[in-house]
Structure 1
C-alpha cells in the first residue's frame, strides 16, 4: 500500500511539473509567421545584388578558381 501512495504522489508531482511547463510555454509571446516571412522576403529582395548565389562570382575575385598552369611539352 505504501509504495502505491509513493508512486501516486510521484505521478502527481510529475504531472504538475508538466502542467507548469505547458502554462509557461503557452504564455510566451510569439511573432506571427506571416510577418516574419514577409520580413525575410523583403530582406532577400533588399540584399539580392550582393548575393553571390544570385549574381555569381566574378572570375577575378573567385578564390576557388583553378590556377592556370604552364605545361611544357
Structure 2
C-alpha cells in the first residue's frame, strides 16, 4: 500500500479530469495572429482619435464632472 486513502486518489483523478477539460477548451479556441490584431487596433485608434477625449480633451462647458459652483466658507 502506498499509504494514500482512496478519497485522496479520487480527488486527484477529479482534478486531473478538470485540468484536461480546461486544456481541451483552451486548445480548441480560435486564436488571432497578434500582428493582425495589433494592426487593426492601431487603425481603429487612428480613425477615432478626433473623438477621443483622452487625446483631444474635454471642453470645460461640457465636462459633467467639473464643479458648477464653488463653495465659499465664511
Fold shared by both chains (TM-score > 0.5): yes
Q: CA, structure 1 residues 5+45, in 2 after alignment: closer, same or farther (shift >3 Å)? A: same
Structure 1: stretches of 5+ with no match in the other structure: 68-73
Question: What is the RMSD computed on CA atoms of the aligned residues?
Answer: 2.5
In structure 2, the partner of 1:45 is 46
In structure 1, the partner of 2:32 is 31
- Counting matched residue pairs gives 65
Q: CA, structure 1 residues 49+65, in 2 after alignment: closer, same or farther (shift >3 Å)? A: farther
Post-superposition CA distance 1:10-54 (Å, at most 9, x none): 211221121111111111111222211111100111122222333
In structure 2, the partner of 1:71 is none
Q: What is the CA distance between 1:65 and its match in structure 2?
A: 8.4
Secondary structure of 1:20's partner? Answer: helix
Q: Which runs of 4+ in 1 moved over 6 A?
A: none
In structure 2, the partner of 1:20 is 21
Q: CA, structure 1 residues 62+15, in 2 after alignment: closer, same or farther (shift >3 Å)? A: same
